[in-house]
Structure 1
């Protein structure tokens, strides 16, 4: 019996160790606690929620699909002493509203430009995660005069760069559920999450769809970054982006996934700060 009990305890310990792999976890959303100026601005037919934190050269933080700007709490803390950090909830996300226009990366990138115009910021570096990273690349292609460096974490340039069935991955499924709970708390339309997901899914089904020629138009400095266990983006696609965008760098974070900025904030922040510099 003692041997059986010992074996059972060993199996339990091994299971717990396996479950505790960093890349399988979804840490709590790290809210932005640094003092900030916040508000709403009318942009391209809707009201966008934004925050401005810190001082120095401007950096825009763009969150992933279904999320909101709170997810950048770990990054704001280290950026604000050296940069003016601009955060926004993308249209239809978080606290921001939306109009009847169909979701599209070009439209959401134009929202960023319009917000910068309203804040009288001529040019800014961009740190983006997932959809936010795609927006950063969109800005570099279509509005190169408005962006400096682009830190693109977990981006894709075509739909086949996404791993099929990612929504069934346990960590990613937990994220979708959490995003829904946060939407209910923050959104001006709290009972419309399922409708929101359905509408933005139409965008994901066909966008982005950039060619090699599109990516080769990018002249601004770009760092392509991902976790080595990303549930959503194929590693080969990440490497393709870095190889195709002129002069782009590549950084792969160990033992981390699509949520590395929360799972491994020290590693993520070190690479981010080194790339952006302290200006």
Structure 2
């Protein structure tokens, strides 16, 4: 049982400005959170990377000439967590603590990042997608919920397109479908601090701590032409998907996410207020509460300062 003290929750109707098709979606916009009143710009902060809790099991699997690291927490319905580019599974430390009491959480370090090897093949989303399936096969997981952030959210969408039989739901936070849907982050102090931080984390975690330049080259090369998810592919997704982002995301263009929500048949669009590309660090209780609602297959709920929320039931 975890407390969400100080958070005032509201559910909202679709915004008519994005068109009739989008208005027919369960489009949700959370406008305000009273707990952030004292800090008017939390989206301009980058709180520390959490630590991972004690795992039930962790290890490596061999996948496409690479060693991919994973860790398991808790028991129950399988939930796979996929982090963003240059990062690692530790970024989901807060969320793992929330979920592990009632879910079987599998956190994966994507190829070349965190504790996983880069391997010799050119880095692609399709290759990383294959790594995820191999981890699921190794752990005898036939179907799972996927919660992804940024690159991890892109992987969640690709899995829904290419392996719909392996997924039950996708929570896609800060995804994009094409390279030109990314903003210029070069002048963002928060994003530059993130890149600086991940370089040090790479040195601390990676089996090849001096190979960050190779990883940087591999990821930036991939980002020049990928992802390339078409409208037809989005229309083919039958898995329920939440398209989620922070109100002030410094990396992803909002119109691309609106397009995703308009196109995917079973999509919900949710914008988390006063947060950016790093909402799960900037407001963990708020982010986690929405994940709980998503897992419970409920619309975003209303929380009062006295509301208690557990991983078995999202707040009413």
TM-score by length of 1: 0.91
Which residue number corresponds to residue 152 of structure 1?
172
Please, which of 177, 191, 203 is the counterpart of residue 184 of structure 1?
A: 203
C-alpha spacing 1:197/1:252, structure 2 compared with 1 (3 Å): same
Structure 1 position 82, deviation (Å): 1.3
- Residue 186 of structure 2: SS of its match in structure 1? helix
Please identify, of 244-253 and 36-45, the stretch whose mean Cα deviation from structure 2 is larger. Answer: 36-45
- Residue 280 of structure 2: SS of its match in structure 1? helix
Matched, 1:67 2:95: no
Structure 1 position 31, deviation (Å): 1.2
Please, which of 253, 257, 273 is the counterpart of residue 234 of structure 1?
A: 253
Structure 1 position 116, deviation (Å): 0.4
Q: How many residues align?
A: 262
Structure 1 position 247, deviation (Å): 1.8
| Partner Cα separation in structure 2 for residue 213 and residue 79 of structure 1 | 34
- Residue 231 of structure 1: SS of its match in structure 2? coil
Please, which of 72, 75, 80 is the counterpart of residue 52 of structure 1?
A: 72
Structure 1 position 167, deviation (Å): 3.2
Structure 1 position 36, deviation (Å): 2.9
Structure 1 position 19, deviation (Å): 9.0
| Partner Cα separation in structure 2 for residue 35 and residue 45 of structure 1 | 26
| Partner Cα separation in structure 2 for residue 69 and residue 46 of structure 1 | 17
Structure 1 position 20, deviation (Å): 6.5
Please, which of 236, 239, 246 is the counterpart of residue 220 of structure 1?
A: 239
Matched, 1:199 2:234: no
Which residue number corresponds to residue 86 of structure 1?
106
Please, which of 145, 152, 159 is the counterpart of residue 139 of structure 1?
A: 159
TM-score by length of 2: 0.80
Which residue number corresponds to residue 278 of structure 2?
259
Q: Could you give the per-residue CA deviations for residues 185-211 of structure 1, whole angstroms, max 9, x where no partner exists?
A: 111111111221011111111001111
| Partner Cα separation in structure 1 for residue 245 and residue 39 of structure 2 | 21
- Residue 219 of structure 1: SS of its match in structure 2? coil
| Partner Cα separation in structure 1 for residue 154 and residue 228 of structure 2 | 11
C-alpha spacing 1:152/1:78, structure 2 compared with 1 (3 Å): same
| Partner Cα separation in structure 2 for residue 91 and residue 154 of structure 1 | 19
- Residue 48 of structure 2: SS of its match in structure 1? coil
> C-alpha root-mean-square deviation of aligned residues, in Å?
1.5
**Quick check: 1:44–1:114 contact (8 Å CA) kept in 2?**
no
- Residue 220 of structure 1: SS of its match in structure 2? coil
Q: Could you give the per-residue CA deviations for residues 191-249 of structure 1, whole angstroms, max 9, x where no partner exists?
A: 11122101111111100111110111100000000000000001111111111111200
- Residue 181 of structure 1: SS of its match in structure 2? helix
Which residue number corresponds to residue 14 of structure 1?
none
**Quick check: 2:118–2:215 contact (8 Å CA) kept in 1?**
no
**Quick check: 1:152–1:224 contact (8 Å CA) kept in 2?**
yes
Structure 1 position 168, deviation (Å): 2.9
Which residue number corresponds to residue 115 of structure 1?
135
Question: Which protein has the larger Cα radius of gyration, Structure 1 or Structure 2?
Answer: 1
Per residue, is there more helix in 1 or in 2? Answer: 1
Which residue number corresponds to residue 3 of structure 1?
none
Structure 2: any 5+ residue segments left out of the alignment? 1-36, 297-311
**Quick check: 2:89–2:109 contact (8 Å CA) kept in 1?**
yes
